[in-house]
Amino acid sequence: MIQIKGLSKIYKTKKQQVQAVDDVSLTINQGEIFGVIGYSGAGKSTFIRLINRLEEPSNGTISIHNKDITKMSATELRLKRQKIGMIFQHFNLLWSRTVFDNIAFPLEIAGVPKATRAEKVNELIQLVGLAGKENSYPSQLSGGQKQRVGIARALANDPEVLLCDEATSALDPETTDDILDLLVSINKKLQLTIILITHEMHVIQKICHRVAVMENGKVVESGDVLDVFVRPQSKTTKRFVQQLNPLEHDQASLKEFITSREDSEVVKLHFIGNNAKRALITDVIKQFDVEINILQGSIAPTREGAYGTLYIELNGSKDVLASSIQFMREQSVEVEVLQHVE
């Protein structure tokens, strides 16, 4: 478990000071993939560099497995960093070394014997899907292959935590998905805690268990990915959710579809988990004398299950409309009645 309390980072110059991270407190559970998302300048990259003290915190504490790394001496910290792997946006490989030698580098620094080192490197090459590329140089690899080398190198010393700083930002969408699938596989096989920094909601959606949203150095929202997606609270989170579902929070686009009848209601439905696959609209039409006009909708998968949003217009008598809405609520579907679509 990682416990972060009151973490802050202030950069000072002669003329001003900049609060890059502002009083952040988080608990990250053992074995989970925890995402931190924010726009450029939110403080997320500074935050992840504070976790392994590549940046020194101005205030606060960081405990990994009940050991406060903010109080460690230089010698203690050097040993602890061997158990904190890190992968970077631009790979940071040694261009004069082969794939094998790049992965072996941290083991050399740690003083691991040559035979043991070779066995470990070969194991990692298989794990990340680079068999046959052992003797290739970084210049001979694709972007995805380079990042696989970076991941293998970060795993060389059997870390307790893997930090990923925009690890997929330099990759095309298909390669990004391949790398994310690899991180999920590593997380499952090794039960490794992964902290992932990104500005892409797709990355959070695909692999994270929980997420924190950063803005101006602060965490403005955090929780289970599914809960944050379905019930975004902050303006920043709503903007990120809209990346995945452009129709969400754009109620103005509904106006052209609405009939403006007096005997109608516009309703927004949220389907979560298995309910996203239900034929709810068919059930309502079968049971009630109501006409349903589907306005717009979408469904998206997350690591913890699917969620969907559907906007519908219900036409019928006042009593029937009330009964239909109550029925939908009884089916474990979140129902929001939009009296006026602005």
Spell out the per-residue pLDDT of the chain, length 342, in tens: 899 999 999 998 888 899 999 999 999 999 999 999 999 999 999 999 999 999 999 999 999 988 999 999 989 988 888 899 999 888 889 999 999 999 999 999 989 999 999 999 999 999 999 999 999 999 999 999 999 999 999 999 999 999 999 988 888 889 999 999 999 999 999 999 999 999 988 899 889 999 999 999 999 999 999 888 878 889 999 888 877 766 555 555 656 555 566 678 888 888 776 665 667 888 899 999 999 988 888 777 777 777 778 888 888 888 899 899 999 888 878 888 876 444
The helix/strand/coil state of 10 is strand
Say if residues 103 and 121 touch (Cβ distance below 8 Å): yes
- Rounded-to-10 torsion of CA 177, 178, 181, 186: -140
Q: Which residue has the tokens 């450029």?
A: 40
Report which DSSP code applies to 217.
T
Residue 237 to residue 220: CA distance in whole angstroms: 8
Quick one: pLDDT at residue 153? 95
Superfamily of domain 251-338: ACT domain (3.30.70.260)
List the chain domain ranges.
Answer: 2-244, 251-338
Quick one: pLDDT at residue 342? 42
Say if residues 62 and 21 touch (Cβ distance below 8 Å): no
Closest C-alpha to 217, from 64, 14, 25, 3: 25
Tokens of 124: 């990692």
Report which DSSP code applies to 21.
E
Listed in sequence order, the residues at least 6 apart from 132 whose beta carbon sits closer than 8 Å to its beta carbon are none
Strands 264-272 and 218-224, bridge-based pairing: unpaired
| Strand ordering across the sheet containing 193-198 | 84-88, 161-165, 193-198, 33-37, 210-215, 218-224
- Amino acid residing at 201: M
- Amino acid residing at 113: P
Residue 262 to residue 115: CA distance in whole angstroms: 80
Quick one: pLDDT at residue 267? 87
Quick one: pLDDT at residue 251? 57
Report CA Rg, the chain: 24
Residue 220 to residue 71: CA distance in whole angstroms: 27
pTM: 0.83
Listed in sequence order, the residues at least 6 apart from 175 whose beta carbon sits closer than 8 Å to its beta carbon are 142, 143, 144, 147, 168
Tell me whether the CATH fold assigned to 2-244 matches the one assigned to 251-338. Answer: no
Quick one: pLDDT at residue 183? 95
Residue 185 to residue 274: CA distance in whole angstroms: 24
Say if residues 265 and 290 touch (Cβ distance below 8 Å): no
What CA–CA distances, in Å, run from 294 to 269, 312, 313, 331? 11, 4, 6, 19
Domain 2-244 = CATH 3.40.190.10: no
Residue 228 to residue 222: CA distance in whole angstroms: 7
Report which DSSP code applies to 106.
H
